[in-house]
Structure 1
Amino acid sequence: MTYKTVMVHLDTSAGAHTRLGIALKLAHKFDAHLDAVFAMFDPHPVGFYAMAGASDYYEAHRKFLSEKRAVVERLFQSELSRAQVQGVWAAPDGYPLTAVMQRARAADLVILGPARPKDPESYVADNFLETIVLGAGGPVLLVPETSRFETVGERVLIGWNGSRESARAIRDAIPFIARAEQVAVAAICTAPTPGPAESSCADVAAMLNRHVATPVNICRFERPATVSTGEALLKYAAEGGYDLLVAGAYGHARFHEFVWGGVSRSILSSMQLPVLMSH
C-alpha cells in the first residue's frame, strides 16, 4: 500500500511554499505523481458591478490575481523539474472549494494548510479546510506554515480513541507508518481510569507491527484539567520529537454550518506539526 497520486493545494499565501516543499519530498519518497491545484479567494463580479464605477477595479483585481498565479506556476514547474518528480499544474475556473474537492477525491493523499488571520491570502472560502477534510474521502495532510519541516512521517504519533474515524485515519496513514523509524499509539482518554480505547491500544499496535520493521510503542499522556485533549496530544507530540500526528476527523455539516468535534477543532487551531486526518 502506498500513495501514487499526491495533490497539493497552492495559492499565494506564505504557507503555500511550505506545502509545496513537503509535497515534492513526499512525491519523491512514494514515487508518486504530484497534482498542484491552484485556488484562491476570488470575489464574485456581481458584488463589484453592483457598485457604480467598480468594474474597472474588478478587472484590475483579476489581472493582479492572474499575475500572482503565473508566479506560483513558474515556481511549481521549476521545483518540479529540480526534484525530478512527475506532476501537473491545474488552475480550474469556478468556485475554488468545489474545484479543489473534485481533485481531492481523485488523489491518494491531499495536502492542505489552514487559513491564518495574519495572512489574508491564505483564505480561500468559508469552512474550506473543514469541508475538504470531511468530504475528500481519504487522508488529508494538514501543514502549518509556522516553520519548515525537514522530515514528515519518520516519527509518527497516533491518537487513538477507538472510534471509526480514528481507525480510518490509521489505515489511511499506513504508507507513512510502514516507512517510519518510530511509531507510537497514544490513547486519547478523558477519564482518570483506563477505558476501552486505552485497552484496545494493544490490538492496534499488534496490527501495525505487521506493517513496520520496528516495534510500535504504546503510550499514555497526562491531560491537565485546564487543557483540551487535542492541545495535550499536540504538546505530547511536540515534546516527543514526532514529525507527524495521525488523528481521526470528527464532525459533520448541519444546516450549512459545521459541527466540529472538540479534539479536531483544537488540533486545527493549535497544530505546530503536520497532522494527517481522515473522516
Structure 2
Amino acid sequence: MTCKTILAILQSEADAARVLDFTVPFAARHGGHVIGLHAEALPIIVSAPLGGPVVAFNAGLEAETEARHSRMREIFNKRLSAEGVTGEWRGYESVSGDSAISGIESARTVDLVIAQQNDPDADARSTANVEALVFESGRPVLLVPYTFSGRSQPFKRVLLAWNGSQQAARAAFDALPMMKEAGKVEVLTVDAPDTPEQDANFAGAAIAATLARHGIEVTMRAERSAGDLTHADIIANRLADSGADLLVMGAYGRSRLSEFVFGGVTRAMLRSMTVPTLMAR
C-alpha cells in the first residue's frame, strides 16, 4: 500500500490549519494527491407572513455559508500551491454540516483519511463525528491530536497495539507506508492469553516477523494490566515511555453501542490522544 490519495477532513476554520499542517507535508513526502473536504449545514428555509424579515435572515445565512466555503477553499488551495502538492476541493452542504459524515463516501475511494481529534472544549459546530468516519468508511483514519502544532515530520518510531484481531491486522497493513518511513516498530500486546499453541509473551511474534520482512526493525513487548490500569492506560503509558510518535491500532472490536455502554480502548484513545493515531476497522 502507498498513500497516493489522501482525504483531509476540514470541519471548520478552527481545525483547517492544524489538519493541513499535518497533511500537506505528509503528502509531499509520500507523493500523495490531497482531497480537501468541507461541509456546511443547509440553511433551513422558512418563511414569515407577508415575506417578513425571516426570509431575509435565511438569505443572510446562505451568504455566510457560501463565504465560509470560499474561505476554506482558499486556505486549502494556498497551502497546496505553496508546497507543490496536487489536490482537489470538495464542498458539500448537508443537514448536519458535519464534514466527517459528508466525507464517508469520498473516504471509501482513497488510501488514507486524515482528520483532527475533536477538542472537547470546542464549539459543537467545530467538531466532527470522527467515530462514524472510523466505523463506517472502511478506510484507515489517521487522527491528528487537537494539541498538535507545527508541521508533520517523518515518523521515527511506531507503536502497534496488537491483539490479533481483524481490526488490528487491517490497521497494521494499512500503516505500512508509515512504518517503513519510521523504520522502527514496537509490537505491544496487553493481557494476551496463554494457549497450548502460543506463550503470551510471544503473542505478537507472527506480525513482528512479517513486518521485519519489509525491512522494518521490530521489537516486541508484552504487558499485563493490574489494579485500576485499563488497556488504554497501558497503551498511553507505553507511548510515553517508548517515545513513539505514531500509534497504530484496530478500532471497535465490539459495536459502538457496546463501547459506549461498557467503555473501550477506541473511545478512550479518541478522548485522550497524545500522538497521531491511525485507526482501522
TM-score, reference length from structure 2: 0.85
- The SS at the match of 2:88 is strand
**In structure 2, what is the equivalent of residue 208 of structure 1?**
211
Q: Which amino acid aligns with 1:264?
A: T
- The SS at the match of 2:217 is coil
Compute the displacement of 1:137 (Å). Answer: 1.2
CA contact (8 A) 2:42 2:93 kept: no
Find the aligned partners of 1:260 and 1:130 in 2 and give their Cα distance.
16
**In structure 1, what is the equivalent of residue 219 of structure 2?**
217
Q: Kindly indicate whether residue 248 of structure 2 is the aligned counterpart of residue 246 of structure 1.
A: yes
C-alpha change, 1:178 and 1:49, in structure 2 (3 Å) is farther
Percent identity over the alignment? 30
Find the aligned partners of 2:109 and 2:262 in 1 and give their Cα distance.
25
**In structure 2, what is the equivalent of residue 100 of structure 1?**
103
Q: Which amino acid aligns with 1:141?
A: L
C-alpha change, 1:86 and 1:176, in structure 2 (3 Å) is same
C-alpha change, 1:57 and 1:118, in structure 2 (3 Å) is farther
Aligned length: 271
Deviation readout 1:155-191 (Å, 9 max, x if unpaired): 1100011111111110111111122132110002277
CA contact (8 A) 1:159 1:166 kept: yes
**In structure 2, what is the equivalent of residue 7 of structure 1?**
7
Find the aligned partners of 1:226 and 1:55 in 2 and give their Cα distance.
57
- The SS at the match of 1:211 is coil
Q: Which amino acid aligns with 1:172?
A: D
Find the aligned partners of 1:276 and 1:98 in 2 and give their Cα distance.
18
Compute the displacement of 1:28 (Å). Answer: 0.9
Compute the displacement of 1:252 (Å). Answer: 3.0
Find the aligned partners of 1:119 and 1:57 in 2 and give their Cα distance.
26
Compute the displacement of 1:260 (Å). Answer: 8.2
Deviation readout 1:16-54 (Å, 9 max, x if unpaired): 2111111111211111111001124x26615x6599954
Find the aligned partners of 1:88 and 1:262 in 2 and give their Cα distance.
36
- The SS at the match of 1:117 is coil
Aligned 1:178-197 pairs, distance under 5 A: 178-189=180-191
Q: Which runs of 5+ in 2 are unaligned?
A: none
Q: Which runs of 5+ in 1 are unaligned?
A: none
- The SS at the match of 2:155 is coil
**In structure 1, what is the equivalent of residue 147 of structure 2?**
146
**In structure 1, what is the equivalent of residue 21 of structure 2?**
21
Larger radius of gyration between Structure 1 and Structure 2: 2
Find the aligned partners of 1:13 and 1:83 in 2 and give their Cα distance.
20
Find the aligned partners of 1:205 and 1:94 in 2 and give their Cα distance.
44
Aligned 1:114-153 pairs, distance under 5 A: 114-120=117-123, 121-124=125-128, 128-148=129-149, 150-151=152-153, 153=155
